[in-house]
Chains A and B, each alone.
Chain A
Amino acid sequence: MSDNHQHHDHPTGIKRWLFTTNHKDIGTLYLWFSFTMLLIGGSFAMVIRAELMYPGMQLVDPNFFNMMTTLHGLVMVFGAIMPSTVGLANWCIPMMIGAPDMALPRMNNWSFWILPFAALMLLMPMFMGGNFMSGQGPAFGWTFYEPLSGQYNKLAFFVFAIHLLGISSIMGSINIIATILNMRAPGMTLMKMPLFVWTWLITAFLLIAVMPVLAGAVTMMLTDKYFGTSFFNAAGGGDPVLFQHVFWFFGHPEVYIMILPSFGIVSQIIPTFARKKLFGYASMVYATAAIAFLSFIVWAHHMFTVGMPVAGELYFTYATVMIAVPTAVKVFNWTATMWKGAMTFETPMLWAIAFVVLFTIGGFTGLMLGVATSDFQYQDTYFVVAHFHYVLVTGALFGVIGGVYYWLPKWTGNMYNEKLSKLHFWISAISVNVLFFPQHFIGLQGMPRRVPDYNPMFADWNFVSSIGGFVFGASQLLFLYIVISTIRGGAKATSQVWEGAEGLEWTVPSPAPYHTFENPPLIK
């Protein structure tokens, strides 16, 4: 029995990773899992861009194309972005608040080890059709609207994949909340916590509030298909629109679940390289809380064209554009932090600045989409695709990559290769705009999303977008190379790593020892 060992002896090899209760090990597992998923989801995106490079059907059949768009979305949301931020939370939160580990270390292991099984459950039906190209993976869009998704003959696998992902997220979030509220070192009051810890506290609350609702939605799908219920069937008194309400009650907070941790990361990086305290710390905390609150009451802005009373359109418009206020508070604060700072532009800072600029573009298009009257024009076009990729790729993902560069020396004890990583940044930052910016144009011209073929009038910008996509995809392999070579060697990092870095994680040696803060530090 493992608990009979009284001393710190740790299994090595595969057993270390399978049975670990150490927050740093589990953080590493989360990060590698999410990177694997990023490459898988990215390869699906490459198929999509290859098919869309020219008008007409050339590479894959329409069902396979739909499968790619569906799985690209699901894998990126649930496999890449969310676990990557949980990985950062695992690595950093205990060190940032002076705790020896997460509050519930065994449950922490379980939160992670459910994920590979959930991913397997999600992706396996792709290979159940005999041959891969006629795969039977889900092909109904990542939002899995009823009644279309109800026609899918492997629906149960999909439903259970979502259930497993939900169990993992809820346990992970409970752990993070318990860690933050209960494990802070003496003197670390709530309003002294680094902003990354704050944003994760609020994110974890959002996750616990909405993942069960998503579980409810997929359970209703399951019983509608297999057990004769009529939640989404008007013949029995239900309504397919009910699905959209339940889904987006989850779905809107979900987008903040993906972006808030990146807000936190950027709020760590910018003060470090501007060598100034974060401007407006308290307003950052309140703005995050305000965004989280508002995220619960705006969901139907995803459904403006479904049909709702004018009062509903107006309410959801006003509530939605209100989110611009706390979001703008954050953007102003980041900018004000840089104002007259002694700025240097190491790689993490480049990603953080790109985040602020490009995320704001995504925010502005969000305002356009949030107004019901203009949304009628943009609904289900590539404009929407451009909007949420600016928010999620140049927003959430850029934040995470910046965070990885920022903390990598602390994790590995080695500095990354500054030249290569800057190259990685510039290729990514340029190609991602080549990839997504033209999608605004073709969207405004009326190109619908989720189509494998399109009117030749959209051909030029689609070609440009595809070239950007291939370059952006390939540049992430450079990221992989940089990370691996940093793990294997490089200039030794100091404890503080960055001249302007402040916070408890920079007081422990680099690489951070397996156990940190077994005796809590005293915070003045």
Chain B
Amino acid sequence: MAEQKYYLPQPSYWPLIGSVGLFTTTFGFASALPGKAGDPMGNMLMMYIGLAILAFMMFGWFSTVVRESEAGKYNMQVDMSFRMGMMWFIFSEVMFFAAFFGALFYARQLSVPWLAGGDPGTNELLWKGFQQNWPLLQTPEMAVKPDADLTFSKASGVIEAWGVPFYNTLILLTSGLTVTFAHWALKQKNRTGLILWLCATVVLGYLFVGLQASEYGHAYHALNLKLSSGIYGTTFFMLTGFHGLHVTIGATMLLIITLRSIKGHFTPERHFAFEAVAWYWHFVDVVWLGLFIFVYWL
């Protein structure tokens, strides 16, 4: 046949190393977590070893793939398999965030109004005096218990949408543009433009993470807004936290394709890794818009 054959890799030890890494990480973490609330955290060493194994695996596995790709072993069909893999992976990430957005909407639309009297019996018998409020600074518990006995900490305020979160929105949207400029530059064989626009995207990505981190510091210390501040703090930190983690991963992936661009990888026709990272970056961008609207603004 005229068409080049589908590339079938030889047996590989990287997946098994990955499994050992995943197991070591999660087993280490689970062993370190206390059995009962209040017990101290155990030794996290095993978890760090597991994370190191995972990092080693990713470096080794991805290097192998990059080497094979640069050696021209992949035909268009392999390229399409990779594309589908990345698209469906991003879809799975969308569904992961959907679970947490679902929890947010459920709390705002159903559980908090029910606790505040939408379900009269619950309010009368268990949380008498609790009134609906959002952001939920007054938890149901605060309505019925003295401050000293609270399980969930009392927050004095929330992060306002039109301060740093708004600037972060602009930063992420701009980074979505710069990564597109980089793509154009790549397609026009403008290597310098590609590298510079990618560097700009990486800087914007990490800038976003840095600003988020400082906002977290502000929330924890100045506002006493924590994971344990009731359902507002819960959904706020879990949603923005997982998003921040994804931005960090995305920015690191951008950094890697920047380094690969500097090494001369990618051609105007063939640059799957670049596109995969760009898709991922647009995905974290879109999630952030959802967060900005539903967590910070409305």
A residues bordering B, Cβ < 8 Å?
1-3, 5, 10-11, 15-16, 18-21, 99-101, 103-107, 109-110, 113-114, 116-117, 120-121, 153-154, 156-157, 159-160, 163-164, 167, 170, 173-175, 177-179, 181-183, 208-213, 215-217, 219-220, 223, 225-231, 233-239, 241-242, 245-246, 249, 515, 518-520
Contacts and interface: CB of A to CB of B under 8 A. Distances in A.
A230 B234 contact: yes
Interface stretch (B85-93, B177-185, B269-277, B279-287): B85-93
Q: Please provide the 7 A-B residue pairs with the shortest distance between their CB atoms, ordered closest to farther.
A: A216-B99, A228-B228, A110-B15, A237-B231, A156-B30, A160-B26, A19-B11
Residue among B6, B77, B136, B141 with max Cβ neighbours from chain A (10 Å): B6
Given A237-B232, A238-B107, A178 B85 contact: yes
8 contacts: A106-B9, A164-B23, A182-B84, A215-B96, A235-B139, A236-B228, A237-B107, A518-B5
Interface in B82-129: 82, 84-85, 88-89, 91-93, 95-96, 98-100, 102-103, 106-107, 110-112, 114-115, 122, 126-127
Contacts of A21: 8-12
Contacts of B244: none
Contacts of B237: 229
Interface in B10-30: 10-16, 18-20, 22-23, 26-27, 29-30
B164 interface: no
Contacts of A163: 26
Interface of B: 1, 5-6, 8-16, 18-20, 22-23, 26-27, 29-30, 33-37, 61, 64, 67-68, 77, 80-82, 84-85, 88-89, 91-93, 95-96, 98-100, 102-103, 106-107, 110-112, 114-115, 122, 126-127, 136, 139-141, 151-153, 226-234, 237-238
B95 A213 contact: yes
Interface of A is mostly: helix
Contacts of B227: 223, 227-229
A62 B229 CA distance: 37
B95 A237 contact: no
B141 A236 contact: yes
Contact of A226 (B10, B12, B33, B238): B33
B8 A242 contact: no
Contact of B234 (A20, A225, A238): A238
Given A216-B100, A229-B238, A103 B15 contact: no
Contact of B228 (A208, A227, A520): A227
A117 B19 contact: yes
A235 B140 contact: yes
